[in-house]
Chains A and B, each alone.
Chain A
């Protein structure tokens, strides 16, 4: 837990680095600073999805501690959903500044929206299975199947189909050329947002554990 609490120190430093320390990008100017938030939240939205999928696999293999493991998968998906919405919002702002429109149906924009739809579908399924005692198994299968398909959407489609995404805008040779200070800040914020995810995840899991214990004591 101590490691995750570092976020209280690292986040203000990260905000300082991204807004004040790092120089603006050559073409985009100060608008490019949104990169330091957009990339980390996009990373966390996918990480949360993978963690939810891994918990589902463990749940199906071990078949023990079912309510808690089910809650762990659900919590990770819930946090992932919030971060996916943040990714869409920051991405739209970026798109408006660089391409003139909030939404362009670029392959990368489309893939993050599909990830959001997968999360929405998972929550819809989860609530529709409320009275089913086998909810943990069915919802886990859905998450695992989604997890198999998601990498294709997030990593392969944007690389196969032509995209307007920054790689081609910032540089002519389609490679990420960031100055050392930019790289450091980006990496720093990716780590900080990962810790933030871990911190929120720990708290929500503790809360779920309390609810599960309360419910089981009520049942007794």
Chain B
């Protein structure tokens, strides 16, 4: 019994070590080129400025603000989330990666990378938007939680879809087509939660939990199915 649990712990540590190595590799490459993060942040900045330039003087309802925040976050992130997998395909390193690492390790490393990237984009977009549009959420903790839970759910689903499009012939155009119908429930609920938090509504724990549960379900299934996407069967 002790031996079995010891084996389990050792295997867990090895897996963790390999995931950290893969994650480090992705960050080193990204840091060197800064391709996806630069494009995403530039896109986020330009769209936020454009929106505020045209509508800052208008007295928009909170629901419209919430929709605009999520549209900017969603499309800024869309530019870069599939890039992590597409880069492996374009540079011809995907086969090496498949030989060197287990599918589960690759999936977790890429998921963590995308999650961090999404949070960075959100951290840039949201304060910029609030600053330029001159609004302040009535319930800040609820607002931050809604943005965080929405980002977690979106990054979990788009990671798997990013891996799928990387294997196709029409990558960037297909990513929006296949991800849009599956991200709708998350966007729908996130927009409602953010609007409610801007209006100063009470914390909607059920919908926040739904977003986290959605992420959990998608990550679990993707963890099991990732080998069918990434590895040659």
Q: Which residues of B contact A128 (CB under 8 A)?
A: 168-170, 174
B167, B169, B182, B188 pick with most chain A CB within 10 angstroms: B182
Is the CB of B164 closer than 8 A to any CB of chain A?
A: yes
| Given contact pairs A125-B178, A137-B229, A145-B225, A152 touches B167 in the complex (Cβ within 8 A) | no
Q: Are A157 and B177 in contact (CB under 8 A)?
A: no
* Tally of contacts, chain A with chain B, CB under 8 A: 80
The contact string, 1 if C-beta is below 8 Å from chain A, for chain B 35-67, is: 000000000000000000000000000000000
Bound Cα distance A157, B225 (Å): 26
Contact call A149/B185, Cβ cutoff below 8 A: yes
Q: State whether the Cβ of A148 lies closer than 8 Å to any Cβ in chain B.
A: yes
Interface residue count for B (Cβ, 8 Å)? 27
Q: Assess the B185–A157 pair: CB atoms within 8 A.
A: yes
* Given known contacts A124-B177, A153-B185, A157-B185, A144 and B221 CB-to-CB distance under 8 angstroms: yes
Give chain A residues whose Cβ lies under 8 Å from the Cβ of B177: 120-121, 124
If A134-B232, A146-B182 touch, does A129 touch B221 (CB 8 Å cutoff)? no
B160 near A134 with CB under 8 A, answer: no
For the complex formed, measure the closest distance between the CB of A112 and the CB atoms of chain B, giving whole angstroms. Answer: 12
Tell yes or no: B31 within 8 A of A by CB: no
Q: Considering the chains assembled together, what is the distance between the CA atoms of A109 and B30 in angstroms?
A: 42
- State whether A149 and B164 are in contact (beta carbons under 8 Å apart), knowing that A124-B174, A138-B228 are contacts in the complex: no
Q: How far is the CA of A144 from the CA of B221 in the complex (A)?
A: 9
The 8 Å CB contact of A121, one of B178, B217, B221, is B178
Q: Does residue B181 face the partner (Cβ distance < 8 Å to A)?
A: yes
7 A-B residue pairs with CB within 8 Å: A118-B182, A121-B178, A124-B174, A137-B233, A141-B160, A141-B164, A148-B217
